[in-house]
Chain A
Amino acid sequence: MKKSIISVVLVLFPIAILLGQQGKYQRKSISSVESVWIKPGALQGLERFDYRFFDKMVDFYIELERFDYNILPEPMLSEFREQANLLTEITPAAIGRVLEKTVAARILDILNSDDVKKNRGLALKDESAFQSFAATKAKSLGLTVRELEMLLNSAYIYLPYISNMKQEKEAKEISVEIQGGILWYQLAVDPGGNYSIKMLVGAKTSGLGRASIGAKNRLTGKPLYKEFKFGKEVLKTTEEQYAQYDAVLAWAKNLGVKTKEIDAFKLQAQIVEASGNKYGFPLGFSEGVHLGDGFHLVEFEEDKFGNEVATRVGFVRVTKTGDNKEDPTAYTYATQLLGEKQDIGGVVMEHPRLGIDARVKLGFVTGMNIPKKYTEFDLVTKIQVLDDDATSAFGANLTFAYNLAPIIGVSQTFLDLDIGFGIPIASYTNEAIEGNVNAFIISGYLGVTKKLWFGRSNLSIGLGGGVDRLTMGGELLDSTFSYSINAVGIKAGADFEMLLNPDLSLNIGAGYKFGLPPMSVTLTWGNEELELPIPLDEYEDLKMGGFSINIGINYALGELPINIFGFLDPFKKY
């Protein structure tokens, strides 16, 4: 069973050979040319492209803790930009040649400087080198040729690019879509000191941002899109800027995951402690490991031709991050969720994800009460939508669950943004059918879920609050309309979830939503929306909550074109 579920990937594995020690991440150094390559004609409809914010996002999501950073002097960067701008045909290869001419020599100088050798070189030394150092009365801790080769060939340059960025405005809605990616180049240095720039890999993704002009928070009355928050930083924006920032953040965050997915940059380590299904390995805050991060368990096997191939044999999740900034010997500990138990010497290899899960659930709700009399409203003519009282509904929910564990230090705790859609089970009146009028419930909830794991399964307990909206809508007099009754609700639920593979799990659960009496009615006619307060006792016995059972899936996202809870990312500290 396990075999059929765990994805087994065979990879001809050159990493161990290159590094000398199996499953060891060697720090890489990266340089940025502090620029973004925007393809000619790529920017459409934008008043101004905000380079500062773009650089801020790229710095945050691309310049990860696992990298050392080589700062290039401004004159050199200007030279790169000048020469790149002179290119008649801009291709990754042509840019690589410009990098080779302009910045490669400087990077080599940086790598050859005493400070870099002293600081980064130490990380390249293995355990036996330190042993020899101690045994030989600390005579030398200088870099050997093998270590220098690793140091000089572990420098990379990245260049983000935008292939298309389009801003559209429809009525009050502004949307910005960005498409682009990142090019990674490697500085290759041979023993003779000759260097070249090689294109390593390219990754592309997209981001989408939205804002509504003049939109305000219904509770506070403050404008919704005049401030863009990122951690503790608050940036004053226009709605256009907000949409742009939103898109850029989503795009950069996706690229961060794609960067981590590049083989050369993937964190990996050997298991040095193994106790039951708990493993300790030498990675931690210095490499940007966070609580809840997933790692594949990798085993090397000799095939019939004598080649060593890496096989994924399991999956673990970080339960305690090692503070190796304070104590270099601190280990990160992880609990095994999938696969057979491993012993020391097994390898953990990073499985980068966004830290956001998408859950889709289908369910059935009972115990609700939507009397047919409340589905009657008077617009041009009086219409009653339901012919029966509805006491149950079919429903579907889409939840984006942001892993709060790296922020609060409590593992497997999620902040949920839940969008629900329900169809009351009741027959429609003839006039509703003729007028093509439908009744449905839309919900928006914010909540918290805590998952308690046992083996590959978990019990997740969730709590949330939000708004349910019974909407009846259709077309009347050539114009769309909707009549909605809004009510606040509180819900709690529990799910049993089983991991099918590192990303996908199946869940089955039950919950109860306590629906409060409706607070308001919203009438939309065409593009006009009118919110009407209603007396509390008018819909007194209308309840959109009830007991629900559901089945669904949970998927750990590696890419998401929209920004959800991105402002929380800078708070990650566990």
Chain B
Amino acid sequence: MRKIHGLLVLSIIFSFLSTDLIAQLPVSKEATLIESVSSAEVMIEATGIYKSKQKKKKKAKKDVTEKGVKKAIEDARKATVYFILFGGTDPLITTPQERQKFDEYTSFFFDINNVNTYISFEETEFRKKVKIDGGRGIRVTKRFKINKELLTKDLEARNILEARAELAEAIGNPFIMVMPAVQRGESPIDLLRTNPQIKHAAAVVESYLTARKYDVIVPEQQAALSDLSAAQQSLAGREEDYAYQLALSIGSDVYITFSGTLEDAGYGTKKYAMAVRAYETTTARLLGTETGYSQGRQGEVMVSIEEAMNDAVDNVLSRITNYWKDDVKRGIQYKLIVNISTDFDEDQIEDIQFAFMDVVEEIAKSSKENIVTDQTLDYIIWCDPAKYDKSSKVYRKIKKAFKDAETEGTLRRININRKMILLKVDYE
């Protein structure tokens, strides 16, 4: 009997708590991203709904007249926060773990006083205000500017999102290189130097990245590529991918390419369509791609470029962040390429390969074998940041282990940067 009473009390408490949580969430959850105003703020058009709980129609109508607008506006404000947290293509809360942690703080984040702190601007007038359910409810639509950065920091402060600062402390922020996408044979650096529109687009991305405290690498020295030429033979099929080569040679973690065109938008206006792609440098794996469009304008191309880029880059960046959060859990990633001289015979080559494989097993928390041929070994390795926070440390370990293996070859380095270790094995 006591058990039954206990269960009853628990179920009542639970039902109250869950009702409270539901009450905090917005009713409408309808919102649209209008534009990314800056790296910190977004403009969102959100709808708020209020439905009276009064059963009698007359009382319900009176209730809606008295407090409907105020409550619906509050609901719209909550809907904007909800949208940033869970809506759109790139919400802040992405994993079930994050959602689980968030649920503990639902009442905090959807408390209207807290919601108001994220709203930096609210339109005075309504986009729409419509009575629904025969006057028993009301629906309003307004535009709000939300400080997404502040919301993100609040999520990080409650460990719902892993703080970028903590990530940076562990293994550093990702190095990101930005460059225009080019046709085969074209030099992105030349394009950056000569085309003001391309340069402006790159500057917008770089501005975005630096505002969010990413490390940005600007590829302006074509000479950086020269060292890579010796390894070109190993980059099968990618020798024409300039961006990939540049990123590798510079040692960025991620590289972003962008391309854009001006399109006719009617009434003598042009709109800019921007495509932004983010790649993992070591594998050239596509992490995210997004398109952004400006509004149609007469002239003011630079403004259109900025608007289109802002539209696209925000989502791409959130995908980079998600990738980085996943990747760092595995350790620090390096690309390891070894060129084996053709002077070795088959057995010697095998000895060398086995020696390398043993070394990789020893130093890497995990690894991925990309290419193994008689002349080339291509690996992605993830190392413990506590032991191998620099590529030179990895190199030293490999060199030592290779020497200990007593093969016929001598290991030398071709190029080492923070992301890539390019080695060769020569016949003594």
Contacts and interface: CB of A to CB of B under 8 A. Distances in A.
Interface of A: 16, 20-22, 24, 112, 117, 126-128, 131-132, 135-136, 139-140, 142-146, 148-149, 152, 189-193, 270, 272, 282, 299-302, 308, 340-347
5 contacts: A131-B145, A132-B37, A145-B266, A345-B126, A347-B129
Contact of A345 (B129, B265, B267): B129
A345 B138 CA distance: 11
A142 B298 contact: yes
Contact of A135 (B38, B65, B125, B127): B38
A426 B271 CA distance: 87
B127 A346 contact: no
The 7 A-B residue pairs whose C-beta atoms are closest, nearest first, are A191-B266, A145-B296, A345-B129, A144-B295, A140-B303, A343-B69, A345-B126
B28 to A, nearest CB: 14
A114 B215 CA distance: 43
Most buried by A among B37, B132, B266: B266
Given A145-B267, A302-B130, A346-B129, 16 more contacts: A21-B127, A22-B126, A117-B298, A127-B123, A128-B143, A132-B35, A135-B41, A136-B37, A139-B303, A142-B303, A145-B269, A192-B266, A282-B125, A299-B131, A300-B130, A341-B65
Given A192-B266, A301-B131, A145 B126 contact: no
Contact of A148 (B143, B298, B303): B298
Interface of B: 34-35, 37-38, 41, 43, 65, 68-70, 121, 123-132, 134-135, 139-140, 143, 145, 265-269, 271, 295-300, 303, 306
A127 B34 CA distance: 13
A470 to B, nearest CB: 57
A136 B35 CA distance: 12
A190 to B, nearest CB: 8
B187 to A, nearest CB: 30
Contacts of B134: 301
A260 B313 CA distance: 48
Contact of B68 (A20, A142, A192, A343): A343
B268 A193 contact: yes
Contacts of B129: 22, 270, 300, 345-347
A145 B267 CA distance: 7
Nearest to B37: A135
Contacts of A143: 297-298
Given A132-B37, A136-B38, A16 B125 contact: no
B266 A149 contact: yes
A191 B68 CA distance: 40
A140 B123 contact: no
Nearest to A270: B125
Contacts of A140: 297, 300, 303
A47 B65 CA distance: 62
A148 B268 contact: yes
Given A20-B127, A139-B306, A192-B266, A345 B38 contact: no
A518 to B, nearest CB: 60
Contacts of B68: 343
Contacts of B130: 300-302, 308
B131 A300 contact: yes
Nearest to A139: B303
A308 B130 CA distance: 7
A24 B266 contact: no
Contacts of A132: 35, 37, 43
B296 A144 contact: yes
A272 B142 CA distance: 13
Given A128-B34, A139-B306, A145-B265, A300 B135 contact: no
Nearest to A17: B128
A21 B296 CA distance: 19
Nearest to B38: A135
B300 A270 contact: no
Contact of B267 (A148, A300, A341, A342): A148
Nearest to B269: A145
A345 B300 CA distance: 34
A146 B128 contact: no
A143 B41 CA distance: 23
A343 B65 contact: yes
A465 to B, nearest CB: 48
Given A192-B266, A345-B69, A146 B295 contact: yes
Most buried by B among A148, A308, A341, A345: A345
Contacts of B43: 128, 131-132
Contact of B140 (A24, A190, A345): A345
Contacts of B127: 20-22
Most buried by B among A340, A344, A346: A344
A302 B131 contact: yes
A346 B126 CA distance: 9
A340 B38 CA distance: 43
A469 to B, nearest CB: 55
Nearest to B69: A343
Nearest to A272: B124
A456 B332 CA distance: 77
Contacts of B296: 144-146, 148
A302 B140 CA distance: 12
B267 A193 contact: yes
A270 B128 CA distance: 10
A192 B265 CA distance: 9
Contacts of B298: 117, 142-143, 148
A305 to B, nearest CB: 13
A329 to B, nearest CB: 10
Most buried by A among B128, B135, B271: B128
A145 B297 contact: yes
Most buried by A among B38, B269, B300: B269
Contact of A144 (B69, B121, B143, B269): B269
A192 to B, nearest CB: 7
Contact of B124 (A117, A127, A299): A127
